[in-house]
Structure 1
């Protein structure tokens, strides 16, 4: 037994602790392929401080630049007090957010944010401009390396530039789509704010109404967006054609991607108000089916369930205020009821949507009951699912890392199962190609055993509240059949669970196409260009192996590709992409447009060989 005495006790300083346990402060690390990876949390922590300045009436413009690994944020607020610049970014539990008069309804209250960014960056520079003076402090991994003060003619405000530490965030890169979504949320929630990002201007006039219009297909809306605003609360509601429920919830400008007490109260309040308006006891699931809603509230001293602030735990609006539940219920009851009385067309369209959901629910009730009983029995000994020990939503620091790999065939699932992390990684094995779900009703989810078992494995039948894995990773071979299975699975998710994709939970696993090695070194290559570079690097005549399928990769090697260096391609829907049109084009009947696209993009072997020859010549040069 290991000795346990006074020598076993260690005391870490702030930067050592953050670097040793970064997950406690910024959630999962990741390489930037997921919207909630740590590099985006670093950016958010810095921008949050600028937003707090705007909320307090100081500075209407924020400038953000993301250029490869360099991130810069400049605001025109009051500027950090000159004498406190170093302390604010390097002393835990130091900051202006503890003074409730200076920051009444701030996003960050625990004095950790910028300290975590500082400690997890190879270079972190903060500069405050205040009343003709400026102070510049430069750090490296939390260590102060430069501190100077001088006069300036620049406008008041704060500038922060940092480079995330690539020894912690391995192979990272910022996906600009994720950064843009973050910035859009900031401007939607802060009327009058302008954010200039990489030369593009972001501004919103209609708040959450603009948010819904940007994130949904407006052509599929059953009625115009209901937009309601009050003191410290704003909501927007509509119903679409999609399955499931979709919510965007915010607290003090923070996007609470996992919801919390405010989102639960909002869902409850909508059901209660609708029942009372129509004087009919509709089933809650029929009222909320296909709903798309957004809610933003402001709370004094909010309590979140983790440092990354993705789920609100506060029960009260403030120290002396009502409960969150009462506050939201009272507002929605009056504002939504008034709106429906004044807009009879919207009230009629909403009622038709509810009655349609009721008919659809009753139509599949019988098959749903049988399917759920079958799934319940299968779950006791589900050979398709190799589960993990920790699940998403649990109060555990590894919950953000939970992953379900969806594989094709037993050989691939066998390799992943043997090499996975049993704490956070689960495997679901498909048998052959799944059904093309495009154009089918949700009844097929219960009739098709494989779809039903997958739905139960994810626990998303009644929405995302019970989602068991943060990352759903499609892991198929990089051949024609594997690509087809990817499309079929993405069609399934987009057809029946589009909110799962929109929330950034679905990704494609990249696995190496080649292994290039000699006696001293092995290099795994994910493209032909990488293969050519590896050959040049190793020199001579290295051994080259082409992986045709995941089953050919040994469990020992597979462990290298699903660990800290895992490469993922997120499934991202842009505003321009309409789900129905997208699925119709790729997964519908063989339309003339698709035939024309295929013919125009056919590649023949001679072209590929010629391109490879040119590429090799360029690399040698």
Structure 2
């Protein structure tokens, strides 16, 4: 073995800028291309807005204007503005800022003086301007290096700070901002900061009723009783129950959306169960109390401890007001306020109890069916060829757990091709046999009685919730034809009906597959629409061969490697702008109605290649 050259020259010291650019994931989480709401390009926006929110929370500035045009992001607040002599330092010098002064920012949301610098260092261009007491100063950077610093000059602009940046395309490859994710972020800021107005490209975001508005705007179906809205010092909650399966929580700490929950959310779930049990003097099962709950909790604490730099999960135990543990703080508040509310509104208490009893009845009815289904599954699993598993799983500590992906494909032909070319470490394949059952309007027992659904549920391991989910990404990979679209709709109906949390938490995707292959003797281009095909023909010449893909089974294993490789195109399935799942499913997946027939007729489009095919035949 060659001797290792471990000498003084092996030891390197990186500047903060070099370290952030070398290891950006340590500061902003995963990089991504913008297809997921927690991708780094959205964290960049959040870090800038967080500083403006801190100004508002401290009593300065009631408006924040944001624009996103192509790749250029601007944020303008109307707070006090960065002190003019510190503009460059505040956006480029690590450990420089006001977040260390507990009197200035008691309950800050920013990254302790790191966030804005990380945005600067990870941007192709970055400009910061401060407006203060009739004067302004501006600094411009490229890849984190200062290229221009203006002198202090007079201005008529209102006090505040302006930031403009373009993410570095060498770090965030092929990125694209999805405005729906930014809109969701801005609504959360609005709900948590009543009295603050935010705007995105001219659209206004403002809330008068805080978390009550959050629940009202995010309901995906009918609710059983009016939203319970409780507010106290440093804590606010909103609670109701719907008719869906699963539990839905929106949790926040110091204005930070803790998408992974943490100690405050765990305490909240525990407190609801304890309070309801004591109110009714019944030892109800926690699952029966919490199923179908839709709720939100926001707390403010000093110096919170998060389990990651991007602050998606609270790890603090003892930083609640007055030195209490967070668990005791949340429990004490819920026990008093929720109990008082249930005594004041007996109709709400009655609705909650009826929901619990109904859930208990269904759970007991399902227990026998579950037992039979599990026994059957054990026998089937010995010869089950539906699932071709991978080595890494999302619910383990495997180093590639985050990359664990399940492709749901139609038929053995597509399943065979994708299996031959997949990454066996991180990519699993589940092959459907024909079209799944339309699950709309069916009870959950169908999940156990239908072999296909039971095997899919078992493969995902989500019978008892998403805590055991085995794949971070569940990808529907069907053909780009009418049958493929129908299968896609049937699968979406299944997930929306029984496992909506899979969608809410951003785990469900649609695989984009190419419609055309354009090639000559030197080059092959895969095209996902007519425009790309036309451009490919221009580049490769009119004599290039064009192949129309109608099904994934037509693609060779080598081609499939391109479709599901590092640059695969995934469309996330979201509930953005979806306010009533029940109505949506009733319209599209319920009984055929005159209204649906009229909709189909009014929106029917005949594709050009369909006409050409018909003429040719």
CA contact 1:62–1:76 (8 Å) conserved in 2: yes
Distance 1:64 1:375 in 2: 53
Change (3 A) 1:424 1:56: farther
Distance 2:60 2:383 in 1: 60
Distance 1:173 1:139 in 2: 22
Question: Deviations 1:289-347 (Å, cap 9, x if unpaired)?
Answer: 11111111112111111112111111122596211111111110111000000111111
Distance 1:607 1:448 in 2: 38
Residue 187 (structure 1) aligns with: 190
Change (3 A) 1:607 1:482: closer
SS at 1:98's partner residue? Answer: coil
Is 1:163 paired with 2:155?
no
In structure 1, stretches of 5+ residues that fail to align are 611-621
Question: Deviations 1:74-117 (Å, cap 9, x if unpaired)?
Answer: 11112222222222222333322122222111112443212221
Residue 618 (structure 1) aligns with: none
Residue 438 (structure 1) aligns with: 440
SS at 1:101's partner residue? Answer: coil
Distance 2:569 2:76 in 1: 32
Residue 228 (structure 1) aligns with: 230
Alignment root-mean-square deviation, CA: 2.5
Residue from 572, 575, 578 that aligns with 2:574: 572
Question: In terms of mean alpha carbon deviation, does 396-405 or 442-451 score higher?
Answer: 396-405
Q: How does 1:447-526 map to 2 (within 5 A)?
A: 447-526=449-528
Residue from 335, 351, 355 that aligns with 2:337: 335
Distance 1:316 1:376 in 2: 45
CA contact 1:194–1:202 (8 Å) conserved in 2: yes
Distance 2:392 2:81 in 1: 43
Question: In terms of mean alpha carbon deviation, does 538-547 or 283-292 score higher?
Answer: 538-547
Change (3 A) 1:146 1:332: same
Distance 1:590 1:132 in 2: 66
Distance 1:420 1:156 in 2: 55
Residue from 215, 219, 240 that aligns with 1:216: 219
Question: Deviations 1:47-97 (Å, cap 9, x if unpaired)?
Answer: 111111111111111011111211110111122222222222223333221
Residue from 123, 126, 140 that aligns with 2:125: 123
Residue from 14, 17, 42 that aligns with 1:15: 17
Count of aligned pairs between the two proteins: 612
Residue 179 (structure 2) aligns with: 176
Change (3 A) 1:104 1:383: farther
SS at 2:274's partner residue? Answer: helix
TM normalised by structure 2 equals 0.93
Change (3 A) 1:58 1:417: farther
Q: How does 1:356-435 map to 2 (within 5 A)?
A: 356-375=358-377, 383-392=385-394, 399-435=401-437
Distance 1:393 1:134 in 2: 51
SS at 1:566's partner residue? Answer: coil
Distance 1:107 1:376 in 2: 49
Residue 250 (structure 2) aligns with: 248
Distance 1:77 1:421 in 2: 50
Question: In terms of mean alpha carbon deviation, does 404-413 or 472-481 score higher?
Answer: 404-413
The alpha-carbon deviation at position 395 of structure 1 amounts to: 6.5
In structure 2, stretches of 5+ residues that fail to align are 613-617
Question: Deviations 1:478-517 (Å, cap 9, x if unpaired)?
Answer: 1122111100110001101123223332221101111212
The alpha-carbon deviation at position 423 of structure 1 amounts to: 4.5
Distance 1:95 1:546 in 2: 57
CA contact 1:221–1:240 (8 Å) conserved in 2: yes
The alpha-carbon deviation at position 358 of structure 1 amounts to: 0.9
Is 1:201 paired with 2:189?
no
Change (3 A) 1:377 1:174: farther
